Amino acid sequence: MRSPSSRVLVVEDDQVLGRLLADLLRQADFASEHVISGEVALRELQTGRFDLVLSDLRLPGMDGLVLLSKITNRWPDVPVVMLTAHGSVPIAVEAMKRGAADFLAKPFEREQLVGVIERTLVASLKAQSEPPADPASSALIETPGLAEVMKIVRRAANSSSTVLIRGESGTGKGVVARVLHALSPRAAQPFVKLQCAAFPEALLESELFGYEKGAFTGASMRKLGRVELAQGGTLFLDEIGDVALPLQVKLLRLLEERQFERLGGMHTQSVDVRIVAATHRPLEQMIRQGQFREDLFYRLNVLPVEVPPLRQRPGDISSLALRFLDELEAACQRPKKSISADGLKQLQEHRWPGNVREWRNVMERLVVFVDGAEISGIDVHQELVRANSAPILTAPGRLGSAREELEAILAKAGGNRSLAARLLGVSRRTLYNRLAAVGIGVDKPNTEPSSELNWAP
């Protein structure tokens, strides 16, 4: 993707190391020059002859961070890769937050240097030649309370840096990841999601990296992992905090070198993929407890995005309500409804421990259960009390009342059991178990042990 004459300016005050880096880059078919200070680098950049800057963080006079700031302000299309000594990784991460495209920690191998320069130039060319896609507006993210999040997302989208999205469960981290991809130069390429918490450790590794035929019993053919399936696009690692320590080592290598091996494979695979990760876990605390690698955290937390909980965004309730009412009325085949001012006030004052996910479930039940043309404050209050106060339906031993409530929900759902399960916030399987427990016939056999009444969602 890069031109053989891609031009790299090396900024390194150590004359020997600077000449060595320039020579290594020339051997890899880059045109490169070496200067010993930031001041000289700025004069060279004014000629417009360079496609990338490789700069040490520690320089005499103007240091690397100041130089980075001047380059990103005056030549935003020229990416900067920072060099840092061992032990200064946090400073390099700060440099990436300020606009650096990537960083290399000394000492490093020639292949690492060339690989980082290659990837950065490819990403830069794509960003300049492909205008970012403008995704359809999302009710979860195009709201006043997420304006700052969207500013960060729009800026992060045009880089190839790794992004770590943090926030409580249900805040919409997955939606943020998809918008980030849709706004990026990789929008036309795959967006591949891997829910890390959904797989046991051994299976997660094969899902991530794939495997070769015969790698283990039952591996009758080669399988490509999510990393390869995301080639050229974005790999979204949801709940990254649930990855076990042994696999964290392999993830670190993927982030550093964009290389991996399939299970049972002998050949190293290279991949061009952007990593976006998300978690609700306190990773800093997990690092102190030895449950998460500090170096992996630094590699993931290059461009952090924090999604605030819904209780901190009461102003978003109105816009979300109007948007979701339209969507849910169409999905549930219910007539148009409005929501009263008192109803909105009730929604805005609720704490929403389950965030947007909980809020949408409540709105869906209101759309189905409220018969009138307006959702009143009383309707909202009753639904919030029912949803948050251990309702009869979830209490074992009250089968008569539970049967009546289940029958009422099925009636509201028009007999559609998938819709009834969504209204209850449970899976279809759990709904079938509850129906059987209260003596309501089902058209699907109950596969749970007959001695266990699984009342939990």
Cis omega before residue 107 (within 30°)? yes
The mean pLDDT of the chain is 80
pLDDT of residue 395: 37
Contact 38, 67 (CB under 8 A): yes
> Of 344, 365, 388, which residue sits at a domain end?
388
pLDDT in tens, 363-403: 888 888 888 888 888 888 888 877 664 333 333 333 445 56
Q: What are phi and psi of 367, to 5 degrees?
A: -60, -40
CB-CB neighbours of 144 under 10 Å: 11
| Eight-state DSSP code of residue 133 | P
Do 148 and 239 have their domain in common? yes
Mean pLDDT over 251-260 rounds to 93
Do 181 and 304 have their domain in common? yes
Do 150 and 299 have their domain in common? yes
Do 193 and 172 have their domain in common? yes
Residue at 409 is within a domain: no
CATH number assigned to the domain comprising residue 120: 3.40.50.2300
- Please give the Cα distance from 170 to 156 (Å, whole number): 22
pLDDT of residue 277: 97
Residue at 169 is within a domain: yes
Mean pLDDT over 243-254 rounds to 94
pLDDT of residue 242: 93
Higher pLDDT residue, 417 or 168? 168
> Per-residue pLDDT for 141 more than 50?
yes
Task: Kindly list the distances between the CA atom of residue 414 and the CA atoms of 9, 13, 238, in Å, as whole numbers in the listed order.
Answer: 68, 75, 35
Confidence tier at 129 by pLDDT (50, 70, 90): very low
Does the pTM of the predicted model rise above 0.75?
no
pLDDT in tens, 22-48: 999 988 888 899 999 999 999 888 876
Residue at 429 is within a domain: no
Do 178 and 291 have their domain in common? yes
CB neighbour list of residue 172: distance below 8 Å, 6 or more residues apart: 140, 141, 307, 355, 356
Residue at 403 is within a domain: no
CATH number assigned to the domain comprising residue 373: 1.10.8.60
- Please give the Cα distance from 116 to 113 (Å, whole number): 5
pLDDT of residue 445: 39
pLDDT in tens, 91-126: 776 777 778 888 887 778 888 888 889 888 877 765
- Please give the Cα distance from 455 to 349 (Å, whole number): 29
Residue at 139 is within a domain: no
Residue at 301 is within a domain: yes
Residue at 433 is within a domain: no
> Of 328, 357, 388, which residue sits at a domain end?
388
Q: Which of 134-138, 187-191, 300-304, 326-330 has the highest mean pLDDT?
A: 300-304
Residue at 423 is within a domain: no
Q: Which of 8-12, 86-90, 267-271 has the highest mean pLDDT?
A: 8-12
pLDDT of residue 350: 84
Do 41 and 91 have their domain in common? yes
Do 71 and 43 have their domain in common? yes
> Per-residue pLDDT for 446 more than 70?
no
Percent of the chain with pLDDT over 90: 30
Contact 104, 86 (CB under 8 A): no
Do 212 and 326 have their domain in common? no
pLDDT of residue 441: 65
Do 208 and 316 have their domain in common? no
Do 250 and 154 have their domain in common? yes
Q: What are phi and psi of 448, to 5 degrees?
A: -80, 155
> Per-residue pLDDT for 3 more than 80?
no
pLDDT of residue 186: 92
Query: CA 190: distance to chain centroid?
Result: 14
> Per-residue pLDDT for 349 more than 70?
yes
Mean pLDDT over 162-184 rounds to 92
Do 351 and 318 have their domain in common? yes
CATH number assigned to the domain comprising residue 209: 3.40.50.300
pLDDT in tens, 301-345: 999 999 999 889 888 888 788 777 877 777 677 778 888 888 888
Do 288 and 204 have their domain in common? yes
What is the domain count for the chain?
A: 3
Q: Which domain holds residue 74?
A: 7-129
What is the torsional sign of CA 63, 65, 68, 70? Answer: negative
> Per-residue pLDDT for 279 more than 90?
yes
Higher pLDDT residue, 329 or 227? 227
Task: Select from 351, 358, 304 the least CA-distant residue to 163.
Answer: 304
pLDDT of residue 448: 37
Q: Which of 39-48, 65-74, 171-180, 273-282 has the highest mean pLDDT?
A: 273-282
pLDDT of residue 133: 40
> Of 308, 342, 360, which residue sits at a domain end?
308
pLDDT of residue 391: 38
